[in-house]
Structures are given as structure tokens and as C-alpha cells.
Structure 1
Amino acid sequence: MDGVVDIMIKPAEMFSEFGLTNTESKILEALISMGQSTGSGMAKRIGTQKSVAYFVLDRLVQKGLAGFALVNNRRQYQPIEPELLKLRAEERKKSFSRNIESIISAAMAAKKKRKTAIFKIFEGWDGMKIAFDDILSIEKEYPYLVFAVDIPEKIFPRFRRFIKRFHLKRSEKKIGCRLLISEKLSSTIGKDRKSEPYTDVRFVSSETAMPMAANIYKNKVLLAVWSDPPLAITIESREISDSFAAFFELLWKNGKK
């Protein structure tokens, strides 16, 4: 099959440090090799029932090792970025890097062949962490731009803790950030961000604020829907990220310090 990279490591050994079952490991290995797949396509790929393939793919999404996008009302599953796969391995403090290098090489090779925009969806707080961890992988010289939004009162305390931990890690990595924040959040989120290094904050009226949070970095846009549970949509497209960045710069000029 064109664009498929075969990996000569047993799936059970390859992903054992993630605590995956043999079937989960086999499907994750196939998903990385394929780049993306539907449940039925995966069933054909590994020779199993569709119900099993869909169940395991959804389990990988829940574990933060995969995401999906709806294309013509069908779920297209994709593995997380190869950089994030390595990061998750490192966070578990396991001697996993020797086996994962071949996986990362295969995923990077498949990634270079993509031409169209790639959409990934992450669900729940664990999913949000995976989505935001991708931002921490960028180099310091890349701009990181943020449209912040009003947060529902119900999840505000947890959101504030979550986003503060993220920005502390960002600051430690010396990744610069410019944020446009709703004036309603000036005494809370605005105050938190202003106290952090490598951070520049300006405020806009609630009417000007985006309907959902947008994080712009490299050739990607991470749209965060702070609902209960939260949802993240990552779009990988230079054209789309440039459009968001241009709109950000227009609002930045009129933002209040």
C-alpha cells in the first residue's frame, strides 16, 4: 500500500511501557504506519471485526494516544504527533526510547507526505493536556499567539489550575507568548499571565473576543472549547494558521495593555 511504512518490531514490545494490550498495541502500530484510518479500514488492515477496531481506536483516543476528525460524518482516526508520543514515553520515566525511535521515524515519514489540512480532536482533560503539550514542543523562535475567551463558571477553577500549569511549563522552556484576553478576565487570568516571564498580554472587549479559544503556533491552530468536558480541535495547515495569525495582529494593534 502506498505511503505505508512497515515496522519490524513486535507491537506488544513496542508499546508495553504505555500499558497497552496486545490488540491496542497492534492497532496503534498500524495507525502510525497508515497515518490515518477509519474503523472499517483498520479492521481490514489488521484482520479483525469492525466493532473491535472501533472499540480499540476509541480506547486509544481516551488514553491520549490518538485523535479523530469527522470527515463526511465518518471518524478518521490519527495518531498523536510523533514528538508527543516521545514526550509521553519520557514522562513515564521508562527505558522506552530505543524501541520508539523507529516509530517516530515512520510517523515523521508519513507526516511529510500530507498535503491537505489535518484535523485532530481531543476530548476531556487528559485530551486537553495532550493537545497543549504539542505547543511545548515548538522552538523558542516560533511565535505563540493566543485568543483567550470567557470561561464557564462551572469549570473555571479547574481551568485556571490547568492553564497555569501549562504556562509555567511554557515559561520554563522560554517560549514567548502574546495573549489577547477578554477584559472580563483581567483580574483573574489576565493577572496570572502578566506575572509570568516571556508573556505579553493585551485586553479586548468581550464583544471582540473569539467564540472559542485559539492557540496559534507554527503551522497549527489549536481551538479549545472549554465546556464540561472540554474539547480541543487541532488544525495543521499553514494557510489556516497564517489567516488566524493575521487576524490576531489586527486585534493586537487595538488591544489595551
Structure 2
Amino acid sequence: MELIEKLQASGLTGNEAKVYLELLKIGEASANQIAKNIGMDRTLAYTVLNHLIEKGQVNYIIKKGKKIFSCSSLDSLLNQVKSKEILISELINELKTFEKRDSPKTKIEIYEGKEGLRTMFRLMWKYKSFCSFGATGRAYEALYESNALAKEWIKNKGSGRVITNHKYKNHEMTNLKNMFFKYLDVESESTTTIYGDYVSIHTAIDKPFIILINDKNIAKSYLNHFEVLWKVAKA
């Protein structure tokens, strides 16, 4: 993923990302200079800079009667994320008052796309361990942040056991610490992962598709199957 795309993913618009990155490269500049450098209308560049100032990501000083802009601390990129986190936390607490208390014993959810994978991984990383079979590494490759998140999880004492095909023996995922791999010569296009009372089954061939099952007994049954496979799989 390009820097512009990553900046957009952090909460900036396309124009904000272009202006911010250019300003970061040159250190400080007038709106006119930035507009000229990136081929943007001066008025638009000025408007974008004002939006970035409102977000706390750009500041300015007056030199010889002109506004000279510069980027704030890089940590300011977290401002929007932190604000959204606080807002969403408050929203979740409010929504819990409407949530049905008589939820069914077994809960099944279906997700699609990369955001579905993110939902699955965010849930999985809440647990200290997981077991997975049929792993292909495609979900890991689909999200640019996978490696960083996995390392953070491992840093917090997370560990996992994974059964995959021999052909994935040199995949990047096999280099992660606290991750133990065994191999079976079985072709599988879907990956099954057990963590806590959850079982997730996903494919990531084209558009990711995830089935998430929350049931203690089902999770235990799948874990029993995993343990049998783990015994016969080769290190």
C-alpha cells in the first residue's frame, strides 16, 4: 500500500494526504508553493491546509506577512483515531442498553471483504492463544497491517499452533515467534481457527469470506479435531 493510501486509511482525504506528504517532505512552505509542487489549485491547497490545521496535523507561522505552514508532530496522525476510539467506546456503551439479553446460545455471523478479516483478527488477538488448520497465508497477505499486529500480539505473550501444507513452509507467517507450525499434505482453500469459544472459517481466494461461530461446545469439538491432526502432522 502506497503512503498516500495509508494516510487516507488513517483518516485523511486524498487531497489532504497529498498536501500533508508534500509539506512533510519540504519542511515548511506557503500554500502557493505547495500548490505549485503538487499541481493543485492554490485556493484548494489553502482550503486543504486549513482542514489539516483543524485536525491538528499542520500549523503555521507568519513570515513577512505570509502564512508559512509546517507539519505538526507525526503523533498528531493519531488524533482522529483516538477521537473515533473514544466516540465508538461511548457509542458501544449506549448501544448495549438496547442489546437483547436473551441471545441465542449459538451465535453465527458472516463477514465479507478486508474489513471482515480485520474484524476476525481483532477478535482473535484478544485471546492469548489459537489453533488453526488449513492455513494458506492469504488472509495474512491481504492486510498490510497483519505483520505489525501479529508481532504486537506475540509481544503480549500470544502464541499459536498452525497446521498448513508443506508448500507454505517458507511463507512469511512461519517466521513469526511463538508460532508453531506443522505440515500435512492436504490441499485446503479454507482456514479454520479456534480461539476461546469461537471458531472462524474463512477463505481469501478473491473476496475474503468469513463465518464466525460463537459456541463453547462447537469450539471444543473443533479443538478436539485439531489435536488429532496436530499429532499426525509433521514438524
Q: TM-score, normalised by structure 1?
A: 0.52
Q: Conserved in 2, the CA contact under 8 Å of 1:117 and 1:235?
A: yes
Aligned-residue RMSD, C-alpha: 3.3
Residue 242, structure 1, aligned to residue 225, structure 2: no
Of 201, 208, 220, the match for 2:181? 201
Tell me the secondary structure at the aligned position of residue 250 of structure 1: helix
Checking the alignment, whether the CA contact within 8 Å between 2:133 and 2:162 is kept in structure 1 is: yes
Q: Equivalent residue for 1:93?
A: 82
Match in the other structure for 1:159: 142
Query: Deviation of residue 115 (structure 1)?
Result: 3.5
d(CA) in 1 for partners of 2:80 and 2:153?
16
CA contact (8 A) 1:150 1:184 kept: no
8 Å contact from structure 1 (residues 136, 173) kept in 2: no
Which residue identity does 1:186 align to in structure 2? K
Which residues of 2 match residues 75-114 of structure 1 at below 5 A? 92-94=81-83, 96-97=85-86, 100-101=89-90, 103-104=92-93, 107=96, 110=99, 113-114=102-103
Residue by residue over 1:147-166, the C-alpha shift from the partner in whole angstroms, topping out at 9 and shown as x without a partner, is 13447xxx689438565344
Report which of the two structures shows the higher radius of gyration computed on alpha carbons. Answer: 2
Secondary structure of the corresponding residue to residue 206 of structure 1: coil
| Distance in 2, Cα, partners of 1:92 & 1:115 | 33
**2:133–2:164 Cα contact (<8 Å) kept:** yes
Match of 1:225 in 2: 203
Matches of residues 48-87 of structure 1 in structure 2 within 5 Å? none
Match among 204, 214, 222 for residue 192 of structure 2:
214
Q: Any conservation in 2 of the 1:212–1:223 contact (CA below 8 Å)?
A: yes
1:184 corresponds in structure 2 to 167
Name the % identity: 19
Alignment of 1:32-47 (within 5 A): none
In the TM superposition, what is the alpha-carbon distance from 1:184 to its structure 2 partner?
Answer: 1.6
C-alpha contact (below 8 Å) 1:183/1:203 kept by paired residues: yes
Conserved 8 A contact 1:148-1:181: yes
- For 2:156, the equivalent position in structure 1 comes to 173
User: Deviation at 1:104?
Assistant: 3.4
C-alpha displacement of 1:114: 2.3
**Distance 1:239-1:105 versus aligned 2 partners, 3 A rule:** farther
Q: What is the deviation of 1:215?
A: 1.2
Tell me, yes or no, if the aligned pair for 1:184 and 1:206 is still in contact at 8 Å.
no
Q: Deviations over 1:26-64 (max 9, x none)?
A: xxxxxxxxxxxxxxxxxxxxxxxxxxxxxxxxxxxxxxx
Structure 2's unaligned 5+ residue stretches are: 1-10, 12-77
CA contact (8 A) 2:132 2:193 kept: yes
- Contact 2:201–2:212 (CA under 8 A) maintained in structure 1: yes
Residues 157/199 of structure 1: CA separation in 2 closer, same or farther (3 Å cut): closer
Which ranges of structure 1 fall in alignment gaps of 5 or more residues?
1-17, 19-88
In 2, the alpha carbon distance for the partners of 1:104 and 1:97 equals 11
Alpha-carbon shift at residue 120 of structure 1 (Å): 1.1
**Residue 116 of structure 1 aligns with which residue?**
105
Deviations 1:189-234 (A, max 9, x none): xxx3342222111111125xx5510110000011111121111111
The question of whether the paired residues in 1 share the 8 Å contact of 2:189 and 2:205 is answered with no
